[in-house]
Each structure stands twice: as C-alpha cells, then as structure tokens.
Amino acid sequence: MTQNIIKILITEDHALVRKGLKSLISSRSEFQVVGEADNGLAAIEMTRKCKPDLILLDLSMPKMNGLGAMRQLKKEHPDVKILVITMHASQDYLIPALKEGADGYLLKGDDPQELFMAIRAIMDGKAYLSSDLSGQLIHSVINPDTREATDPLASLTQREKEVFQLVAEGNTNQQIADLLFISPKTVDKHRTNLMKKLDLHSAREVSNFALKNGIILNT
C-alpha cells in the first residue's frame, strides 16, 4: 500500500532553525520538504508555487509577520494546514494565531517528537496545542478580558498591526506600500491612526515600543 507523502513548507527567518527543522522532518519518509521561506511574504509566494499540504510558520518575521501571512494564506488556500512553531509562549500570541486559523501551535523548546505528533494530528483534521500552553488556553476562555488587558496592540486593527511591525522595522511608507500591496496614502492613514491610538509620535518611538513589548526582536 502506497503511503501518502505530506508536503511541507518551512517558514522561519533564522537559517539555523530552518535548516534544523528541515533535517528533522526529512528524517521521516512520510514527510517531504517542498520549500523554505524566511518571511511572511515569501511564504505566500512559495505556497502558490509549491502547493504544500502543511506550513510550519514562525510568528516573528520581517516584511510580514506570521499572523499577517496566515490570514492571507488561509484566504488563498483554505485547505492548507498551518502549524505555528514559535518562541512565544504567551496567550497574547496564541489566541490571535488560533483566531487567524492556525491548526496547531508548538513552542521551539518542545520535544522533537511532539512535532511529528502535531503534524500527524493536524493532517488527520485535529487541532494540536503544545502541552505547555493548554492551561493558558483554558484560562483565556474562562477569563476572556485578560488578553485584552495585556495585549499592547489590542486597540489596533489587523492591518494597523501589520503596518506597525513594518514601521518598527524601519521601513518607509513607500516600502510598506510595496510589501502590503496598498498605496502610500493608505499606509500613511494606518500609520497615523496606530500612532494616535498608542500615543506614539515618531518611528523611533514605534520601534522602542515594539522592542519593549517583545513585538519585534532586537537581534
């Protein structure tokens, strides 16, 4: 009986982590790595090209973060499965990821065997959550206002969050417009709105706010 091969796209901006995941996954005959991407926009393009069954997706990435990429991926490819693999163990990242359509959520510190368990569960149509995060998810359901109170970007729309990250990374309005396929005028509108909501007054303050709250990494 022929075994169905699961085609996997790895999206991770750190090369060492990406290559490690590829080596781990390639050790199993039932999995095939069909592509790699180092940012959210590249993940969207590679998905169109490689047509994977499942995408391993980091959250903190340049150009377009994992949440923004996930929203677009699920819109274009509703049947593709997405397994988030991230360092972020906070519900401030977990809940938005699940809302955007993540089929599973693992931490980079989880045991490698849990990765294989997660992939198989997701491909069988089940959701999979890192064992370390189950308690947080239950807590967020019981106390739905908790995340709203702790999420520093809770007041922003999804598009404003995307613009926020790109501003924090030092991109100009024109560069952001090119990356998000919107006009510079629209970028400026989102930028003005988000800075007003967060009481920030310059790109430097946006970057400092992002670093302070762990939204972008100082690497």
Same domain, 121 and 44: yes
Same domain, 164 and 131: no
Q: How many domains does the chain have?
A: 2
Q: How far apart (Å, rounded) are the C-alpha atoms in residues 153 and 188?
A: 18
Between residues 17 and 213, the one the model is more confident about: 17
CATH of residue 189: 1.10.10.10
pLDDT of residue 5: 92
Q: Could you tell me if residue 165 is inside a domain?
A: yes
Does 216 score more than 50 pLDDT? yes
CATH of residue 79: 3.40.50.2300
Domain ranges, residue 172: 158-213
pLDDT of residue 139: 54
Q: pLDDT, tens digit, for every residue of 50-106?
A: 999 999 999 888 777 888 888 889 989 999 999 999 988 877 788 888 888 899 999
Q: Could you tell me if residue 131 is inside a domain?
A: yes
Length of the chain: 219
pLDDT of residue 93: 80
Residues 52 and 9: beta-carbon distance below 8 Å:
yes
CA atoms within 13 Å, Cβ hemisphere of 25:
25
> What is the pTM assigned to this prediction?
0.70
Same domain, 21 and 93: yes
Q: Could you tell me if residue 166 is inside a domain?
A: yes
Average pLDDT, the chain: 85
The owner of tokens 């590829």 is: 22
- Report the Cα–Cα distance between both ends of the chain, in Å, rounded: 48
Q: Could you tell me if residue 125 is inside a domain?
A: yes
Same domain, 105 and 177: no
Residue 121's Cβ-count burial label (10 Å; 0-12, 13-18, 19+) is: middle
Q: Could you tell me if residue 147 is inside a domain?
A: no
Same domain, 123 and 191: no
Q: Could you tell me if residue 126 is inside a domain?
A: yes
